[in-house]
């Protein structure tokens, strides 16, 4: 699918990754972008790798006991093809309309069968995505696995809270939602030199903005639990992202929450 995306350049990819690839072949060098440390040791450059590993683990742990899976803000995630293809599980992908159109075009161009996935276009900030899911065949009485990777940071706090409540209200006991979040200081750019001088200006250029964060300075676990309990969910696994020292606090977290 990657090579069929309109913004993908083989030459660009080679220019970006080629030198690291050659260095790896010559002397085993591994760039920090490709390293996968434990989340508690992750930095900004290794963040995505450790996040991916955590969500893969969550898929593997939960998928066999679920009837439905919902990829929320799926973007160009291809886990549906890795974990759900050929399985009896019903698969939904939620995202903004333009992103889904672009993905579907790329899948078509690459000759990949995607008809078994139900694409539902939504905006978490603006509408009842559950109603749209139900219109498209979602069954609220079934056990469902919700994967919400890399999305909460772009949403208003109220949307995050409402979405968690909707997950709890619209799925069977034992359903699971897994998501990542970032610290308030990371989101505002105050706690990180890179975020302040590179991340935030870059986001401004792309028209995106970071919005939702959780305070990780004091009792991050309690803060996460409060958010979940208010929504009717219980904390399963929680891994903090980034080192914790006297001065440094984690810049994010990875959450597994269960419908009580
Ligand atoms: C960083 S990408 C993550 C994509 C995918 N989950 C992954 O981890 O590869 C964020 C995704 O959230 C989607 N998104 C952001 N805000 C959204 C909103 N308000 N409603 C629906 N989707 C949204 C974007 O379109 C994008 O696909």
Of all protein residues, the one whose alpha carbon is nearest to atom 23 of ligand 1 is 73
Ligand 1 binding pocket includes 180 (Cβ within 6 Å) = no
Q: Is the pLDDT of residue 215 over 90?
A: yes
Ligand 1 mean position, distance from CA 122 (Å): 11
Report pLDDT for 112: 97
Ligand 1 binding pocket includes 96 (Cβ within 6 Å) = yes
**Cα dihedral 120, 124, 125, 129 sign:** positive
Of all protein residues, the one whose alpha carbon is nearest to atom 20 of ligand 1 is 123
Q: Is the pLDDT of residue 166 over 90?
A: yes
Question: What global pTM score does this model have?
Answer: 0.93
Longest dimension (CA), the chain: 55
Of all protein residues, the one whose alpha carbon is nearest to atom 12 of ligand 1 is 73
Phi, psi of 121 (to 5 degrees): -85, 135
- Note the pLDDT tens digit of each residue in 223-259: 999 999 999 999 999 999 999 998 889 999 999 999 9
Residue with tokens 């810049």: 251
Q: How many Å apart are CA 119 and CA 102, to the nearest integer?
A: 12
Q: Where in the chain is the domain with CATH 3.40.50.150?
A: 35-259
Q: Is the pLDDT of residue 49 over 80?
A: yes
Q: Is the pLDDT of residue 194 over 90?
A: no
> Buried (b) or exposed (e) across 34-72, using 16+ Cβ within 10 A?
eeeeebeebebebbebbbeebbeebbeebbeebbbbbbb
Domain covering 35-259, topology = Rossmann fold (3.40.50)
Of 102, 104, 165, 99, nearest in space to 129 by CA: 165
pLDDT band (50, 70, 90) for residue 191: low
Q: Which residue has the higher pLDDT, 69 or 199?
A: 69
Strand partners, 138: none
Q: How many Å apart are CA 62 and CA 23, to the nearest integer?
A: 38
Ligand 1 binding pocket includes 78 (Cβ within 6 Å) = no
Of all protein residues, the one whose alpha carbon is nearest to atom 16 of ligand 1 is 154
pLDDT (average), residues 35-60: 95
* Lowest mean per-residue pLDDT among 18-27, 186-195, 214-223: 186-195
CA torsion 139-142-148-154 (nearest 10°) is: 40
């Amino acid at each position: 699918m990657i090579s069929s995306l309109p913004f993908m350049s083989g030459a660009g990819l080679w220019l970006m990754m080629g030198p690291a690839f050659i260095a790896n072949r010559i002397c085993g060098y591994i760039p920090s972008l490709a390293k996968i440390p434990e989340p508690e040791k992750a930095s900004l450059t290794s963040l995505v790798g450790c996040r991916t590993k955590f969500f893969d683990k969550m898929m593997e742990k939960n998928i066999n006991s679920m009837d439905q899976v919902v990829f929320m803000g799926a973007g160009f995630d291809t886990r549906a093809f890795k974990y759900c293809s050929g399985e009896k599980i019903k698969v939904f992908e939620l995202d903004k309309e333009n992103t889904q159109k672009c993905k579907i075009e790329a899948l078509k161009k690459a000759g990949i069968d995607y008809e078994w996935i139900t694409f539902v276009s939504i905006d978490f900030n603006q509408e009842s995505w559950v109603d749209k899911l139900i219109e498209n065949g979602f069954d609220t009485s079934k056990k469902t696995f919700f994967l919400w990777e890399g999305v909460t940071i772009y949403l208003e706090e109220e949307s995050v809270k409402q979405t968690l409540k909707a997950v709890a209200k619209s799925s069977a006991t034992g359903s699971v939602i897994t998501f990542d979040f970032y610290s308030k200081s990371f989101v505002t750019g105050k706690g990180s030199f890179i975020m302040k001088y590179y991340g935030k200006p870059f986001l401004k250029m792309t028209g995106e903005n970071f919005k939702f964060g959780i305070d990780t300075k004091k009792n991050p676990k309690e803060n996460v639990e409060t958010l979940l309990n208010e929504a009717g969910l219980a904390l399963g696994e929680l891994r903090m992202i980034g080192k914790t020292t006297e001065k440094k606090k984690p810049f994010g977290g990875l959450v597994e929450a269960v419908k009580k």
